[in-house]
Amino acid sequence: MDGSIFSFTLFGWTGANIVTLALVVLGLAVATALVWSRPEPSGEDPKAIEKHRELRARIGSWWVMVALLVGALALGPTAMIVLLGFVSYLALKEYLTIIPTRKADRVVLLVAYLAVPIQYYWIGIGWYGMFVIFVPVYMFLILPAAMVLRGETQGFLKAAGTLHWGLMITVFSIGHAAYLLVLPPPGAPSGMGPGLLIFLLIATEFNDVAQFLAGRRFGRRKITPKVSPNKTVEGFVGGLIATTLLSMALAPLLTPIGLPQAAAIGVLLATAGFFGDIVMSAVKRDLGIKDTGTILPGHGGILDRIDSLVFTAPFFFHAVRYFYF
């Protein structure tokens, strides 16, 4: 935070946050140029053409996501909390669309949707005590209570269990990313909340890409052949090393985390992200689907994109909160 050349502010933004976001946009621009300069595969191979088209679509979706995030950050913490609340809503809707639900539970599902604005309201007003128990205490007990009033016992446990898991990943977990914005106490340097969130998002997504690339380049030994055959020991370790180095470069700049601690945070994020990824793979395999949705062209559904964040956000949040606030 006290880095000399980054210690300026612009429109209330800290220099480190601006430089980092500019680097993200630059990186994306380079990736776009690389993908678009590649010639369209000629010939009769429909698979190659499809792959090429998907890669371009994926880059396009990245631009939309980065633009939304930067725009919301520029508007201030409230806008960012609203945006992440909307992401939670879309993720919950996607989850409820892909799991089997019971006709009897229609009203119960509306109550579950109601948890999104309420949880993000606690985040908005910075009420930590309520934020951290609202979903796992109140919602997890109120939902089965509402279900039992509907009187349908057939499939009760399955319906209650799947609904709990859905709120856990889409609302409670993702909410931790939003709470980073209001985590620093009033006296903290400005830009620390956004800095923590920017760092979490960059490290999580970077780790996804790094594990994928390392796996493709060096991958030999499969970790979970039944769940996700593409995941290898080499991919995991390669991603972990890259993410740890990135964390050591970025965390001291964007967050109150010091250099040695940043290495530990990098290991934590890489490991959590890996498990988030394969847990969502297991969910999809159980449901017999390849993607969770179609809302992000080239990526699939919103759950396909935030699968790692579901695990990294709470672990990162609680590590930072315990040691620094």
Partner 1 sequence: MTSRDVLRLLFFALLVRPFLLVAIGLSVRHRERLPKDGPVIIAANHNSHLDTLALMSLFPLAKLRKVRAVAAADYFLRNRWLKWLAVDLIGILPIERVTGRGGVDPLAQALAALDAGDILIIFPEGSRGEPEMRQAFKRGVGHIARRRPEIAVLPVFLRGFGKVLPKGDHLPVPFFCDVVIGQPMTGAGEGFMQRLEQTVDALGRETPSSEWA
Contact call for residues 248 and 263 (beta carbons, < 8 A) = yes
Contact call for residues 77 and 193 (beta carbons, < 8 A) = yes
Phi, psi (deg, nearest 5) at residue 269:
-65, -40
Which of 34, 289 has the CB closer to partner 1? 289
Radius of gyration of the CA atoms of the chain, in A: 20
Residue 145 burial by Cβ neighbours in a 10 Å radius (0-12, 13-18, 19+): exposed
Closest contact distance (angstroms) between CB of 77 and partner 1 is: 23
Which of 90, 115 has the CB closer to partner 1? 90
Closest contact distance (angstroms) between CB of 270 and partner 1 is: 31
Which of 90, 265 has the CB closer to partner 1? 90
Task: Dig out the tokens for 321 from the structure.
Answer: 């909160």
Residue 325 to residue 192: CA distance in whole angstroms:
12
Contact call for residues 305 and 91 (beta carbons, < 8 A) = no
Closest contact distance (angstroms) between CB of 28 and partner 1 is: 25
Which of 37, 154 has the CB closer to partner 1? 154
Closest contact distance (angstroms) between CB of 297 and partner 1 is: 11
* Site residues for partner 1 per CB under 8 A: 90, 93-94, 96-103, 106-107, 109-110, 113, 154-155, 287-289, 293-295
Which of 150, 222 has the CB closer to partner 1? 150
Closest contact distance (angstroms) between CB of 154 and partner 1 is: 8
Residue 244 to residue 263: CA distance in whole angstroms:
5
